[in-house]
Structure 1
């Protein structure tokens, strides 16, 4: 994506949004001073950058025009070894879409989302038409507060069960975005998943290209992307119930005992297209924010979904109907270290997608 397209937000006073069903200026809607429009849009886009992504690659770009926000895939940030078809990067962009939706909802601003709106623009993941639709539900407003607190926690959890009421809330969160969250609460299902995870982790650890890619996105805190050592978590003992991805190589902290049986959840969709991946990304983020809102922590178990043959085995294990899109480890624990994010100027592009 080359060129010299604009990287600025709309000029002040250009856009008009809708509060509920009534078209109004943002100033009238929020009682803010003139120019607050830029502030609100920037706030929503910064929320978008807080979405999770594989190796914290942050594979999104944003373009803003009058009344619309485009979310684009930055193909230069797709992991060519572990995510060659860009499915996980699309999930990340979908998660960014959900964060933008919720950040606008917190301001009382509705929006309508068009997924993959232009067949000639495969990088255009979604367009949000701001001010279109009904007033956001109160639950979205409350959930937006969790955006700043949510982060991937690669540290050990405590062996405390997740209450039934919270489990049902997580299932509802996925369903609200058109996905399904399967909780592997039966020992046989947990053990079967753990075996697939262990096998996938072993295969990736034998792949020099994978290890080089992992190393390229691990660092000591000098960058605004990737996973710093402080967020990588300790080494995982061989006897741990789940094989967790290890960032930082030999520089990782000493091994610690991990929980014996966390809650494992697999997010699935009826189809396996790019459109399904965008929806899955929104569902994934709604689940993760619900996790955070209930005082829990989560980390990803991506390995079995990154090897096609093992992903197919996982699908069969889950019933052979839906397609697994993401897997999570969920539990109670001390907060981890958030990963850094790039500045907003670094992810803003012109409407054509050019920088």
Structure 2
């Protein structure tokens, strides 16, 4: 890779940050900061946004990794693609990546398709239809994870899905007994439309004891008759080979490529991080998969019965810091 001699500008940063902040983050907490650093774009975690959860560092790095992937797409569409330097050694522990200008080139068709999906992607916590995700789309999702150095295991068969669901539910029960976790969840619950957190509209339906997979209790609406969740969802586990800090940033990039690939294909997705937040559950999940690698997220994938409601974001200008 031969870098260009011209760095990114403040206008470039303002433009691409509008897309970066559309990345997913735990509780829609948006734990990221952006700034110019000698012509590169620096992405940093802001863990003041996640003060009360044990897995805050992991959540921050995965969220920022997803934002990095959006930045890559936005810069490519500008004709100013970037090379990514993960976790630069000469920077502080909060710096997850530098995006360094690469040789100018037109964006590829695949980059443009994923870029177009950024504004349309959001978690859909509502029930999905019973329609099966076809084999070619399942293959595309696995390819998307592998393109970013990750892996995506699709959990096939009722017994395997039920076993995974028990791991997720067990982790959820552990978290619910933690007072700090309950306080953190309550802090991000929004009664009305807000620029962060999860509103009642975006929360979907309130969780019920018989649900296969436990949605977080963000104060969702009471479920009307006939609106149970699908009995056999397509469930996937996204992971990486190892679990260093830079692997977690890479996991965020892989996660976002999978999510945007799903959106481009007309699929809906919701995420379950509970078994990643509880170390014993994470190890149990890894062992059940027979993987030497490390799980980073559980996904539920399907076709939406209703479009769902995206969560809003803070204005991009509020997460951009002055240049170094």
Q: How many residues align?
A: 320
Aligned to 2:18: 46
Aligned to 1:188: 159
- 2:127 pairs with one of 151, 156, 170: 156
Aligned to 2:265: 294
Within the alignment, does 1:62 sit opposite 2:34 as a pair? yes
323-332 vs 188-197, greater mean Cα deviation: 188-197
Q: CA deviation at 1:68?
A: 1.1
Alignment partners' CA distance in 2, 1:282 and 1:41: 19
Return the index of the structure with the highest Cα Rg. Answer: 1
Aligned to 1:9: none
Aligned to 1:253: 221
Q: CA deviation at 1:222?
A: 5.3
Q: CA deviation at 1:107?
A: 2.3
- RMSD value, Cα: 2.2
* 8 Å CA contact 1:236, 1:257 repeated in 2: no
Aligned to 1:71: 43
Deviation string for 1:100-131 (max 9, x for gaps)?
Answer: 00011122221100000134411111000123
**Equivalent residues in 2 for 1:263-282 (5 A)?**
263-282=234-253
* 8 Å CA contact 1:81, 1:213 repeated in 2: yes
Deviation string for 1:70-121 (max 9, x for gaps)?
Answer: 001112113432524x101100000000000001112222110000013441
Q: CA deviation at 1:332?
A: 0.4
Aligned to 1:340: 312
Q: CA deviation at 1:320?
A: 3.8
Aligned to 1:313: 284
* 8 Å CA contact 1:112, 1:132 repeated in 2: no
- 1:127 pairs with one of 98, 101, 111: 98
Alignment partners' CA distance in 2, 1:206 and 1:112: 43
Alignment partners' CA distance in 2, 1:63 and 1:37: 10
* 8 Å CA contact 1:118, 1:124 repeated in 2: no
Within the alignment, does 1:242 sit opposite 2:210 as a pair? no
* 8 Å CA contact 2:14, 2:317 repeated in 1: no
State the TM-score, normalizing by the size of structure 1. 0.85
User: Partner of 1:148: helix, strand, or coil?
Assistant: helix
Alignment partners' CA distance in 1, 2:100 and 2:91: 19
Within the alignment, does 1:118 sit opposite 2:86 as a pair? no
Relative distance call for 1:64 and 1:193 in structure 2 (3 A) is: same
Alignment partners' CA distance in 2, 1:191 and 1:133: 48
Within the alignment, does 1:349 sit opposite 2:317 as a pair? no
Aligned to 1:216: 187
Q: CA deviation at 1:166?
A: 0.4
Deviation string for 1:148-171 (max 9, x for gaps)?
Answer: 000011111111111100000000
* 8 Å CA contact 1:111, 1:133 repeated in 2: no
Aligned to 2:200: 229
* 8 Å CA contact 1:101, 1:111 repeated in 2: yes
Alignment partners' CA distance in 1, 2:4 and 2:175: 53
Aligned to 1:83: 55
Unaligned runs of 5+ in 1: 1-19, 27-35
338-347 vs 52-61, greater mean Cα deviation: 338-347
Deviation string for 1:198-233 (max 9, x for gaps)?
Answer: 111222222222111100011123531111111111
Q: CA deviation at 1:66?
A: 4.9
Alignment partners' CA distance in 2, 1:132 and 1:285: 24
State the TM-score, normalizing by the size of structure 2. 0.92
Unaligned runs of 5+ in 2: none
